[in-house]
Structure 1
Amino acid sequence: MASLNTLLDSVVSEEVECAICLNKLDTPRILACLHSFCEKCLEKCVRNRKDDSSQSGNSTLKCALCKEYTALPDTGVRGLRLDFRATRLVETLLEQETRERKLASSAHRCEACGCTDSGETASTEKSPFTYCRECCQVLCERCSSAHAGLRMTQTHTVANISDLLNGKVTIQSKDHSMLCPKHADEKLKIFCVTCLEPVCHDCTLIDHNREQGHQLQFLKDFVPTIREELISRQEEVSEKSEEFSEFLNLVDELETHIMDKTKTTSKSIQNAIVEYSSRVEEVHFQMEKVACDYLGEKSKQLNQLRKKTQHIKSLAEKSLLLTNQIMENEQDLVGLASMYKSLREAMDRAIAEKPDEQKLKNIRKSIDRLHYHVTPLEAKVGKVAVGCSCRERSTSSVACKNGPKDVQFTRDGRISAIVQAECIGGRPETVHVKTGTETLYKLETRDSGKRYEGYYSSTRNAYAATVRGVYEAKEVKSPAVFAAIKQTSTSFPNCTSFSWTRWLPTLQYDSIRCFTSLSDHRFVIATTDAKLYILGDALGELSHGLPGKRSISGLATDNEDNIYITDRDNRKIYILRSDGNLKNTLTFDDISPTCVAVPHMGPEIIAVTHEPATVSILDHHGNVLCSIHNEEWKKVVIGFDADRLLYILWSDRNNKKTLQRYTFQGMQVDTLFEKESHSYNDLVLAVSPVGACAAAVVTTTGVDGKVVTVAPREKPLPETLP
């Protein structure tokens, strides 16, 4: 078994030096983390702490090495357990240093009588000087003989200095018997099983009395029990140490991912804002700083997680190391007994701890949710955000007989809806309309050649007409019910009432497929027979620029009022100017575009949906930049907001609806609502292209259909761990 000298050879500075004062440990007290410090240093820390006390209370003490908190007993620092092992190491080290110093500096001078031998060196075999281990003195030949003859010193270990210096003889360090710190000259020979600490005979009469319920055993008799318990924990602690090592490897991998993410995000932000010249340069570094600070914060959180895990791993390893060292030294019973409770507690803590996989998962999720976007708005060039929450969600009812079939945001933030509305008709195939407002009235006189002004008669519960005003007659196929565009009178976020109506007496409701809006508040309407109409002061056809053989499955407009038309059957996208002239045609080999969306504020990209339930981002030459697909998607519609975020409304096989946002690079940003059941089975989505970010979704059709408006709000970047 290892002796105290062998153990001393493996001692490192941190085991005999106080990390606070950097001197040898003086009356060392051991903390819960198994780190020891001078008693006076700990008391000074308790007196001087201000910031820590506000965080962890006055009953705790933070370790100067690992920053872990240890609960202080009622008696304060002096109530902490004494580190007898460290005390033994310090005493032995001091003894060794004293011996080496005296052998080197006083080898020719007797410390008892003062005589010297200047003619001989200490390294020769003829040196008359000896060294006493117990007295720590150099003695001449005469004093050495007298020393050996005295009764109280005749058992001391004495060796010739020349033999010591030449290595022929070695002196083992004194096997100090530890004395009780409370009762001088009393050795620690008894172990209190109740308090788990070695005590002296006097302690058993005062603080550890059997009559007070304390169980006592002789120290040498209880040591086998200590060894057995520590050995039983060693294997489990070793397994925990390996588990923490594997977890730290995952932490390192995630840190590498964070570093890569920091680089790629920084580079992407730089590439995205080059086009915005000097004004964008001013916010470039701000955006990069927010992103890097956020990733830096996550890296900091990851580092905290690493430190925590490393600390538990270190605690496990340190407890294993100390256990092995103590177990090897059968002679140091007091050291073993004094460390027993602390080692047992440390081992139990290591066994109880588990790698915080949920926290690692949360950090990874936070990193993956980071996105950026840049918008060329006067007051807001760009920003970095992580996720969002719904700022506002409201439901509006559209007074109609059927619908809405489609909804759109106009450029001034109002919501428009295609519905089937009931109107008042005159003779069959004829209605009379007030010019400008498109309000319909019933004709009560047979003189249809005159112009009429209508009013509502409560006595006859019908609309009447007089010859005052400006009216015109229009031929319709169904004078009682026909298509209309209903619109909110106010802009978002106050667009809750669909009070404005624009009638479409020459279009069948069932024949309308979809519509979109232009910057001058005109509407472009597509029908099921692939015709295109533009609605301004009057309804006119806009199909002359399109090829004869075509289909129309989706419409969108950009900030220049170019009209994007998807032709699913022919795998084409037509780009028309607002005057109806064809600007460009994109043809695809493997994509049949259905729904189309275009951001109003650059870059020049196009998003389309196609089978199988996929969203592809294209450049203006039709090249696929990236694709987004989810196996859960069965139906998909899309739209871009003012921040160039792509809104994707999709339904699953159970027709549950989900609305999510993505960057145009294909990265998911957040979910606005998830797995909702709507009475309307189809998907209808409108996204505000300018101004505040908002989306409108049709949830109910039929009589008084329902439109839900969702306004996302970006979450603030968290300052602490989630």
Structure 2
Amino acid sequence: MNTQPIMADSKPLSDTTEEDALSLIDCGICLAEMEKPKALPCLHSFCLKCLKRVAHPPGSFICPLCQEKIPLPPAGVDGFRDNFFINQLKERKAIFTIGKVIMPCACCGTTDQQVAARCMDCNGFLCQQCVHSHKTLAPLKLHTVFTLDELRSGTVDTSKVMKEECCQKHKDQVLRWYCKTCDIPICRDCTVMEHTRPEHDYVTIESAVKGHLEEIKNLVTACEGISRRVNTAITKVDKVRAKLDGQLSEASKRLKDEESKAKEAFLKALQENVKTTTDQLNTIKMERYEKIEDEKTNLQHMKSKLSNALEMANQVMKSGSTHDVASNYSTLCKTLTQLKEIKTAGINHSLSAVKFTPSQMGSVEHVNLGTVSSTGPNPRDKNGKWVLEKEIGKEGQGKIKNGFGVAVDPNTTDIVIADDGDKNIKVSDSDGNYKRVLEGVLHQPHDVAVSSDGFHFITDCTAHVKVFSPDGTYLKQFPAISPDGKSSDTDGSILFGITIDSDGNLLVGSSKNCISKHKQDGTHISTIKTNIRPWFIGMTSQGKIVVCANIANTNAQIMDHMGNLLHSINTPHDAKSLVLRPWRPCGVCCKDDGIIYVSNYEKGGQGGIYSFTEDGEYLGCVTTDVTEAEGIALIDNDTLVVVQHGHPAKIFSYLEN
């Protein structure tokens, strides 16, 4: 058993080598090769004697590797399933280590001669003299014998000629049947004793394994995707930690600079103020570190469970015999089915936000070097600004003709843009490099949302939401439901905006001035009425719904989950209360700290991106360097993607001065 910690940059499970496979034979308790290996429900295996040291009936015990609580069978440790697959891996290791260690002949017991072959019927290694006996003695002539060179070359399929496993209850009977009722391999005697029909349904083990392998393969594929997303989430946690360290360092440096400037005049008061402010930073540091480390520990725990399950499943599929597959099928499928439901919600990027702001010191009596803040960039903060980083979709395969909606994949931070001009969905990485396209069944792609597990939900000015898999395969479609219970595919509705709330449910905007709420499988949950057409929809961190209609002189609206109007987002004004632009709110996105960003669409001219509070209060102008702005989306709270109709998309970044 591999007891080494699993790092975020570990190699993919699909790249597992012979050395990795053989590492499964080491016991995680004694660290030696397992003797009489027993398999736990968590898929970890240990020596029988080692388990007896750590598990004492009755009740349960904690797995030494994954810390999962394991109930003890009524028979104690002996009741756990024997892991025959581990025994076969040990034999494989023996094949490759012969010559380096002394091994007795299974037939004559001598160690004087180096073993030269293996008899699949005797189930042991033979010296050269006994190999000769197998070829000449009548009772042994029919035995199947392979030389070590043949076994090491991998040219022979030993699983087809290995001695069949016998039933643990009926020692002289081979496991040739599979009880579908109990999900275990059984022998002939079992079929007439413990597993009789009609209470039990059993088939030949070969026919059962065909379906088992396909099911395990599908679950492995799904869990490998989860594993990749956990890796991505761990990387994001590390980035937030690194950014926090950098900002903590910068804040501390600025604090020290201010300390030096004021030290001579305000020494006594200064030292006390420095201590208080440093304590604030340290408090934030410890609180944030704890939250970040908790998140990473949880993700590492997920990854450890995924890695172990996938490693075992891949090895069973790659090297296991039919009995291995049958013996491991039930536990593998149960574990993999649970693991494929893992959700990676993503880390709150505001955890990395901390800054020290120097004060304008006044009198000697009231020394105040500055204040510590632990929130992200604020549009009101004059120490920073949004700047244009790049344009994307200008040329080549990823060229955007008429962009509308945009979403950011929460795991990969890929940018996903609905292109009405090409009738497809274009996907690029967060740097704007083209990756792939989703197409084939789309009419006029309008908006897109991406779930935490990578599924794409698209509205295309038809009556249905189109669903694509993470790899871009079209899966299905489903209609929205109006407040009177009518389906959008029967009442002439057209679907526009779409987003995903914090519970993973879809909010779909309809031309019938309503928002239809669905589970990701399309199941309808509820419908709320809106006062305006939901051209685009946003969700705040507090669960409020923001709707923009893309209609001139119509304010955007902030509603609660029941559709009750809370606030209007009115025409933005500058400090002199002068109208900045003709007001036509279009795209909308929301930041973790509650700030709402709205694009102002200006046909044939320059528009703008503006920011507001969750109460609809105007904060400021992000940029006017946009043309016919439609959908907008945020990457990690400090990067803004703006889709322009008929023009390339633009990426803006927030920079502090």
Question: Which range, TM-score by smaller chain?
Answer: 0.3 to 0.5
For normalisation by structure 1, the TM-score amounts to 0.40
For normalisation by structure 2, the TM-score amounts to 0.44
